[in-house]
A and B are shown apart, each in its own frame.
Chain A
Amino acid sequence: MTSAGNLATYNFAYLDEQTKRMIRRAILKAIAIPGYQVPFASREMPMPYGWGTGGVQVTASILGPDDTLKVIDQGADDTTNAVSIRAFFQKVANVKVTTKTGEATVIQTRHRIPEEPLTEGQVLVYQVPIPEPLRFLEPRETETRKMHALEEYGLMHVKLYEDIARNGHIATTYAYPVKVGERYVMDPSPIPKFDNPKMHRSQALQLFGAGREKRIYAIPPHTEVVSLDFEDYPFEIQKFEKPCALCGAENVYLDEVVLDDKGGRMFVCSDTDHCEDRRNAGHVGELGVAQTEAAE
């Protein structure tokens, strides 16, 4: 990343006002046509593409001085990627930052939707690597554009058919395709399908930015989001056998953590903020330590 000295000479939130206006226009169009991929003139950001420059540009364009920003990566606030992006916006926009889902006005994410339901006025910004859900079976951009325009989505079910033929069930677990507002089929970015139902009629505004592919798309609040499936193979989310080992939460997405080199492992909340909240509120999992005892 560029040094702080250089960044200090940049505009609020790094991007110049003209670029922000251009991106905001793309965002407004995306909101007006839920699930439709709007092309935009993606800019170079002082970080590699793999860091989610699409999401960063969207966040930079919507952030105001009064916003409170949360950044998560794999559900955690403390990974290198999340820490760096958060530090970047602290530096170039001097906004308040938080790890608390409930306190944030803007949440930039990769791989997860927070467990705590989002509320009116919040914006969730996704970093998207490949925005085109039809890409893997139809590499021609002219053809995929036509398929979206004419609502020809049979190919999405071909993909699911192949999944079942090969695995006996729909084995797609990430970036599971959805239909937005009964019209456009959309790739929800590499979130686990566990999170798909959270997109449905969410109170928050959801924005998706793909930097390398130069696309922005959106799900406005309260929009219907349906995961594609077959009548005899209905959509299902991942299920976990045990609750979180630290906070005892059920019905949350868990990550496997290796404890030692003898095969010891545990499953814990992938959403670190959610886990911490629960433990602070006195919930204790199988391998957790009660917070009051720990403090003594």
Chain B
Amino acid sequence: MNSQPLLKVSDLSKFYGGRIGCTKVSFDLWPGEVLAIVGESGSGKTTLLNCVSTRLTADVGSVEYRMRDGQFRNLATMAEAERRFLMRTDWGFVHQNPADGLRMTVSAGANVGERLMAIGDRHYGQIRETAGDWLSRVEIGLDRIDDQPRAFSGGMRQRLQIARNLVTAPRLVFMDEPTGGLDVSVQARLLDLIRGLVQDLGLAAIVVTHDLAVARLLSHRMMVMKDGQVIEHGLTDRVLDDPREPYTQLLVSSILQV
């Protein structure tokens, strides 16, 4: 079953008028694999993430996803209803700003339960129990299940967003700077949590980050982007310990790090 990739990205390009968003990007993602996309702001890493996750429409190239029935489907030609269903069941998307991925005015329990209700769960007690389990898994106390995320700290909000995405047991999660904007100590705890969940659940993930420490801790493989192109691609330890491209060497030596 794992002898085939989960996702096949071929020759993907996106232009904003005459400006390049990202260009000629190709890669495969395997089940259970975590791929980091690193680069400075403006390098095209977020554009690439949005094109792969169909939040943006690419101008050239294709993204194929292996459905649960084993068949590859071209996401660009999939009907919108089916694609949206895929996005809220088999995929997750963790935004840098939790407010973009949460409903800030409904309770933590309902935030986690929403996906279950969206796929037809109609038993309040079971939905609440599952939501409670997930809150525990992301280290949010059960006594907070009826509180709104407005009352949560930044780190808690991010953990809630993760639980909300994982409740349907997705196979692929996209993360856009998941630890961005958090205090360093909070970041470390969140990274540990994400790493543990990804391992336990066997999740495949694509993580966009400008922080090489995040890439080091979470990813198996990484791609370095500059000016919309992938300039280096390899196993994370190899790229970070033995960077081949001069630009990557600058990044790794912290000269370019923000």
Identify the A interface with B (CB < 8 A).
137, 150-152, 154-155, 157-158, 161-162, 164-166, 229-233
Q: Across the interface, do A166 and B146 meet the contact criterion of CB distance under 8 Å?
A: yes
Supposing A152-B84, A154-B114 touch, asked if A161 and B122 sit within 8 A by C-beta, the answer is no
Supposing A137-B103, A150-B80, A165-B128 touch, asked if A231 and B123 sit within 8 A by C-beta, the answer is yes
Cβ of B250 within 8 Å of any chain A Cβ, yes or no, is no
Q: Across the interface, do B118 and A164 meet the contact criterion of CB distance under 8 Å?
A: no
Q: Contact partner of B106 among A150, A152, A158, CB < 8 A?
A: A158
Which of A154, A232, A233 has the most chain B CB atoms inside 10 A of its CB? A154
In the bound complex, residues from chain A placing their C-beta under 8 Å from that of B78 are none
In the bound complex, residues from chain B placing their C-beta under 8 Å from that of A152 are 84, 118
Identify the B interface with A (CB < 8 A).
80-81, 84, 103, 105-107, 109-110, 113-115, 117-119, 122-125, 127-128, 145-146
Complex Cα gap A161–B128 (Å): 9
In the bound complex, residues from chain B placing their C-beta under 8 Å from that of A151 are 81
Supposing A150-B80, A154-B118 touch, asked if A232 and B113 sit within 8 A by C-beta, the answer is no
Q: Contact partner of A161 among B81, B117, B119, CB < 8 A?
A: B117
Q: Across the interface, do A162 and B110 meet the contact criterion of CB distance under 8 Å?
A: yes
Q: Across the interface, do A161 and B118 meet the contact criterion of CB distance under 8 Å?
A: no
Q: Contact partner of A230 among B109, B114, B123, CB < 8 A?
A: B123
* A38 CB, nearest partner CB in chain B, Å: 21
Supposing A164-B124, A232-B125 touch, asked if A154 and B117 sit within 8 A by C-beta, the answer is yes
* A179 CB, nearest partner CB in chain B, Å: 12
Which of B103, B115, B124 has the most chain A CB atoms inside 10 A of its CB? B124
Q: Contact partner of B123 among A137, A150, A155, A232, CB < 8 A?
A: A232
In the bound complex, residues from chain A placing their C-beta under 8 Å from that of B114 are 154-155, 158
- Among residues of A, the one whose C-beta sits closest to the C-beta of B121 is A157
Q: Across the interface, do A137 and B106 meet the contact criterion of CB distance under 8 Å?
A: yes
- Among residues of B, the one whose C-beta sits closest to the C-beta of A150 is B81
In the bound complex, residues from chain B placing their C-beta under 8 Å from that of A137 are 103, 105-106
In the bound complex, residues from chain B placing their C-beta under 8 Å from that of A155 are 114, 118
Supposing A150-B81, A152-B118, A161-B117 touch, asked if A232 and B124 sit within 8 A by C-beta, the answer is yes
Which of A152, A158, A233 has the most chain B CB atoms inside 10 A of its CB? A158
